[in-house]
Homo-oligomer: A and B are copies of this chain.
Amino acid sequence: MSIVKRSQPYTVALDAMGGDLAPAEPVRGAISAAKEHGVRMLLVGDPAAIQAELAKLEHGGLPLEVVASEGVIQEGEPSARSLRTKPKASIAVATRLVREGKADALVTMGSTGAAMAASVLAFGLFPGLERPALGGPFISLIPRTTIMDLGAQIDCRPSQLLSFAALGCTFSRIFLEIPNPRVGLLSVGAEVGKGNRQVQEAYPLLKSSGLNFVGNVEGHELFLDRADVVVCDGFVGNVLLKFTEGLAHAAARYLQSSLGPDSPAVRRLQELASAAESAGGPLFGVNAAVIIGHGRSRAEGIANSIGRAKALLDLALVDAMRAQLESVLQRADRPAEMK
């Protein structure tokens, strides 16, 4: 895909049928985003359903356009097959809008698997990647710690962990404005040689990567400001992501039952718990700006996700990530003495 220089105002294609609360919340989120972020919104989905939502809301004069699609790919459906059997599904139509230059970025709260598969088909992967990656800060207590992969790449080879480091560093440096992000490798002991085979083999790759590698990081050290970017297999990352969500909700319920629903602690803990729903994260490694949000996101979270898509475009983050990945992978291919 050719890289075109984007210019404001941006057009964002929103999968208006994606997510547990579609199309009502995506439509409300799009209206907010058009107001707050000055973006033009393409609402992709069932025109009647979208118009019914629009009819309930004030949106006069806002740059909103409905683009018709047919069907939705649900979370849990086999993505590649569903894309073939439902070529007009909302996520497929939305990615094509970006592919054809009719939109600058894609935002979806729908099936993560479908968004990944459709994005790979439509935009292609960065050279050196076999799959895209998911990542970002997801623990609101450590909002500047980027963790990846969060479930896109399971059973990683060590070189995949290296690519997460390159992508995560670029995100950390440009999006979070951390000058020289420290990269840590999630493991079960601080010393070199601790960890499973995957971690042991990734260690030397990261050490000679030219990135600011600080070594292994244990689970509790995530909270001790040891690293800005924490690299792990998508299996481990996804377990952690969902575990954190479950734990935060359970802790909020526990405190609520003993302190009452109006306790400030309960409210704060609920804010912590809902962080994942407050804004989506980028899909890393595809040649386009894609934000995938939580399926339970409400309008505010969806508007925040659209704001993030705008930020990715403003910062030209996709190009920067591709360049950083290329440089790290080239270095890894060179003989050791040249590093």
A196 within 8 A of B: yes
Indicate if the CB atoms of A255 and B265 lie closer than 8 Å: yes
Tell me the bound Cα distance from A263 to B239 in angstroms.
31
Indicate if the CB atoms of A220 and B238 lie closer than 8 Å: no
A179 within 8 A of B: no
Question: Which residues of chain B are near A224, meaning CB under 8 Å?
Answer: 246
Q: How many residues on the A side are at the interface (Cβ–Cβ under 8 A)?
A: 52
Tell me the bound Cα distance from A251 to B139 in angstroms.
11
Tell me the bound Cα distance from A264 to B259 in angstroms.
8
Contact with B along A38-50 (1 / 0, CB 8 A): 0000000000000
Indicate if the CB atoms of A219 and B235 lie closer than 8 Å: no
Indicate if the CB atoms of B236 and A219 lie closer than 8 Å: no
Those of A116-139 within 8 Å (CB) of chain B: 139
Those of A184-241 within 8 Å (CB) of chain B: 186-189, 191, 195-197, 199, 218-224, 232-236, 238-241
Per a CB cutoff under 8 Å, which of B196, B232, B247 touches A244?
Answer: B247
Indicate if the CB atoms of B235 and A250 lie closer than 8 Å: no
Indicate if the CB atoms of A265 and B272 lie closer than 8 Å: no
Question: Which residues of chain B are near A233, meaning CB under 8 Å?
Answer: 196
Per a CB cutoff under 8 Å, which of B154, B243, B272 touches A222?
Answer: B243
Tell me the bound Cα distance from A245 to B151 in angstroms.
23
Q: Assuming the A-B contacts A76-B191, A238-B188, A239-B186, are A246 and B221 also in contact, with contact meaning beta carbons closer than 8 angstroms in the complex?
A: yes
Q: Assuming the A-B contacts A254-B141, A268-B255, are A219 and B195 also in contact, with contact meaning beta carbons closer than 8 angstroms in the complex?
A: no
Indicate if the CB atoms of B243 and A240 lie closer than 8 Å: yes
Indicate if the CB atoms of A219 and B197 lie closer than 8 Å: no
